Structure 1
Amino acid sequence: MHANGPTPDGQVADAPAGNWVDRWAPPAARPYLRMSRADRPIGTWLLLLPCWWGLALAMLWDQSPRWEDAWIFFGCGLGAWLMRGAGCTWNDIADRDIDGRVARTRSRPIPSGAVTPKQAAAWMILQALVALCILLTFNRAAIALGVLSLLPVAIYPFAKRFTWWPQVFLGLAFNWGALLAWTAHAGTLNWPAVILYVSGICWTLFYDTIYAHQDAEDDALIGVKSTARLFGANSARYLRYFLVACVALMGLAIIQAVMPNASVLALVIALAGPWAMGWHMAWQLRGFDPEDGARMLFLFRLNRDTGFIPLIFFGAALFA
């Protein structure tokens, strides 16, 4: 890949080499799939995992797993892929002028000329409509939450223009699934889901600050704000704060969800999830080097595994 210039066959500079889009997708579809980040699945995982956290914690809360939860599980997977794609397409439309001035993003389909803004808008609408069809299979409260999620999604691309904390807006959007999946199972939104949602926002602040360090120099030149620029040399210290807040809030959500109906053993197993997640995040911090862009991308991608850790413990607690 050529991070600072054109890439062969329209490939995107920060996509993994040999990804399925570049190798197998029909040439006409590749620019659209690249806008949806289908060649970079980490974002779909980071959007999906809070959904699965919320679903698992809701089942622990009422001790009432049902067959329809299997559809919520798979529906969230399909919806996360589609809405991540629609959100990224919207982000590329909003950032089309900025992306052309940043080394890592100038190879994206819109600034590179592979797709026009009108074509991108049509692709975004198509993805959102298919996602809506999936959302309509859930209960009314979950549908309402799904529609409301469009607000942080719409705001996020512009946040870096007016705040040093755009990662908060990303967290609001990317962890909404914790609220939606809980509600899809339980029928109502309850405090454990809200606390879990805030825990997820702290996690997003952790991993996306790491990610933003790749672009810190370019962002400074063009005046784009981020927590990476805000924290600068103190980033590692703030990342520790986000780690502690994420683990503590997730633990509180688990206590509130599990204590009323589940066994003590289930509570202990579930609480081991954020504890193990915190250790994984602390291990990432040992390799944190904001001057090494490749290292920052590697650490960012590790957060798929970070998000799976509590889910494994939640699943085990369901059988306790």
Structure 2
Amino acid sequence: MKKTYIFVAALLISAVSLSSCSDKGYSSSSAVQETTAAETTAAETAAAETTAGSTTEQVTAPQQEVGYEGMEAVYADSVNEGEYDIDVDSSSTMFKITACKLKVADGAMTARLTMSGNGYGYLFLGTGEDAEKAEETEFIPAEEEGDVVAFTVPVEALDKEIDCAAFSKKKEQWYDRKLVFRADSLPKGVIAGAEDVTPESLKLSDGEYTIDVSLEGGSGKASVQSPAKLTVESGQAYAEIIWSSNKYDYMVVDGEKILPTSTEEFSVFDIPVASLSGRMAVSADTTAMSTPHEISYTLIFDPDSIK
């Protein structure tokens, strides 16, 4: 009888021990399967970060929208020959372009993209699936520039979504991207046939007016007040841009750094406006983050709303 008690007690201790292990996911076969599945999922969706030396990615990371609603493709024959700095929208934060130089010559356009790191070895104009089937001679190799790389790519058109695949050296895998080379970031007069709308063309005398203005770019959280005050002095138009916060400490307009006139409740700027029609590329430096960041935006003015 004593032996029976000991045997039953041992069975009970064993059952409790197994139950405890199963709850913690240590030895239960189902728990092992769940852990393995979780580890597999984590590996498949491992987060990505780009550094000066490497690039890893989250394969399932959502793509960002590029371009803007209603944009129309601008081809080389509509762009004056020359070299220009141009903004480029990228559908992935892991494919960060820090600078781009557009070259227009002999009826064709090319762009030199300078990246934020050196984690990519090749680009391919097309999808990653297409790149897998392509010959290596069709790949665009990285050009070393110190701790970063650059790529020189043909540009079919501005203001048009372009498929691009980037090859991660660390992952040895192609990642799909979409790029848009922004025509509205080029200097005035570069796009042939694009006429500026000025106070003179609108027959506006010196004085104060209002004009509707909207904002695109950034995270989409920022906005500007509309209508904005429009001042015409000696034939030059100036717009008072009032941001939705007081965290902007300067703007860059046509290469000129402009300081705010007030930052009490909102950041307020008086900026020159070369054309009162269409889209105007600007930058604004925000101090709302842990470190200041200069962010690209687009202001859209409506000349028909001038009062």
Instruction: Give the TM-score normalised by the residue count of structure 2.
Output: 0.25
Larger radius of gyration: 2
- Structure that is richer in helix per residue: 1
Q: Which has the higher contact order (CA 8 A, sep 6+)?
A: 1
- Structure that is richer in strand per residue: 2
Instruction: Give the TM-score normalised by the residue count of structure 1.
Output: 0.25
